[in-house]
A = this chain, B = another copy of it.
Amino acid sequence: MSGSNARQNVALQQLAAGDVPAYIQVLGQGARAAARELRRADTGLKNRALEAMALRLAASRQLILEANALDLQRGKETGLDNALLDRLALNDARIDAMIEGLHQVAALPDPVGEIDDMRYRPSGIQVGKMRVPLGVIGIIYESRPNVTLEAASLCLKSGNACLLRGGSEASASNAAISSCIQEGLADVGLPPESVQVVATTDRAAVGAMISMPDYVDVIIPRGGKSLIERISREATVPVIKHLDGVCHVYIDTTADPAKAMAIAVNAKTHRYGTCNTMETLLVDAPIADIVLPELARAYAEHSVELRGCERTRALLPQATLATEEDWSAEYLAPILAIKVVDGMDEAIQHIEQYGSHHTDAIVTQDISLARRFMAEVDSSSVIVNASTRFADGFEYGLGAEIGISTDKLHARGPVGLEGLTTQKYVVFGDGQVRQ
């Protein structure tokens, strides 16, 4: 650990001297070195580290709550709103959930080292693809301090070192959690630089993290759209990003009305603030007068405000007229846009034009339409006869997720352990040369 200590001291000196880019670079060098050790850490060692972190977290519960109380105090003083304060707050139950999360990640299968598609080639060589860590992952996030632990555990299990930059409002909580993580790593002999929480709230730290491809292999921003857009624009390191979730449910004429009702109500009202919540409902014209009035009654029970096209308003006079902006709005609120369309082609075109390629569903009993919807809707999740709310890592069986990618390259949709890895080609021969 003496190399580690020396590096940590240099980093702290840079920070004390106010040279944030130099500080971040030292963290990056440490992360790169740790990544080399993590690449050869076996599954058992990584799991023992996760369990050691759980023990450290349980033992430091009081310290973490005290640090969190400091953050909350400062948050109230600086006028954070109640929703943000709630996201920031830790309590015994939330710390229990964090500890349980560590056990769950330890129990997940390790993707690293898995070899796929191993085949003999005519030359006599055997070629396959081996799943390996990406290397160093930079994660930039806001408010919720439990993200620090979630991100650290997923990166560690997938064999990656990580640099974590949390929100300034959670800095004391994040520092306390970070100590538990690094102690847990040291307990099993892994380098503490495997997980490093950036110890400054200076915004220059973000600029430095996203522009050192030698030390960071990918950046994952988690936060508001403006943060993510800024990082995507300025980063010279590849970014796995989540922009917005403008999700649709299309009810086809052949839909089973009971299933259509259940799905359309659940997709909107199960939770309003999640990215896989339906924001626009598309209804095929012939079934509109059957399902819309009944749906409107259900939405009224949940106090969902309806904004519809002219044809919707002919059936539901209580709906206000939707504007052009409504079709691309991510409300994250009890508001729903509704459009009556003439068939699936119009529905698909609407989704293509106004959607965000996140999650879109069709309710239909027609297998040919289902097949076409599957093939033609270009979204990270395409769903037949189920709620859009299923689009997440737990429901898909990935275990925990680090986010939901709306990118097309590399990782698309919920990003679990596999999305934090890459595949390299492995070749076995017995002296073969190219003819």
A interface vs B, CB < 8 Å?
A: 36, 39-40, 113, 119, 121, 123, 125, 127, 130, 132, 134-135, 217-218, 233, 236, 238, 240, 256, 258-259, 262-263, 265-267, 270, 352, 370, 372, 374-376, 378-387, 389-391, 395-397, 407-410, 412-414, 422-434
Contacts and interface: CB of A to CB of B under 8 A. Distances in A.
B259 A390 contact: no
A386 B429 contact: yes
Given A408-B134, A408-B135, A382 B425 contact: yes
How many copies of this protein are present in the complex? 2
Contacts of A119: 397
Contacts of A40: 372, 375-376
Contact of A352 (B36, B374, B384, B387): B36
A270 B426 contact: no
User: By DSSP majority rule, is chain A's interface helix, strand, loop, or mixed?
Assistant: mixed
Given A396-B121, A408-B135, A390 B431 contact: no
A-B CB proximity, top 4 nearest: A386-B429, A259-B431, A266-B433, A389-B434
Nearest to A274: B434
B378 A434 contact: no
Contacts of A374: 130, 426
Contact of A127 (B218, B372, B397): B397
Contact of A395 (B123, B379, B382, B386): B123
Nearest to A124: B386
Contacts of A414: 425
A428 B384 contact: yes
A376 B112 CA distance: 12
A376 B39 contact: yes
Given A412-B422, A413-B425, A414-B425, A433 B386 contact: yes
A431 B263 contact: yes
A358 to B, nearest CB: 11
Contact of A424 (B121, B413, B432, B433): B413
Given A40-B376, A408-B134, A386 B425 contact: no
Given A134-B408, A381-B424, A382-B426, A121 B397 contact: yes
A123 B386 CA distance: 10
7 contacts: A130-B382, A132-B375, A217-B409, A262-B431, A378-B424, A382-B424, A387-B434
A386 B36 contact: no
B236 A432 contact: no
A222 to B, nearest CB: 18
Given A40-B376, A395-B434, A433-B266, A427 B130 contact: no
B376 A433 contact: no
A121 B395 contact: yes
A408 B137 CA distance: 12
Nearest to A255: B431
A258 B430 CA distance: 11
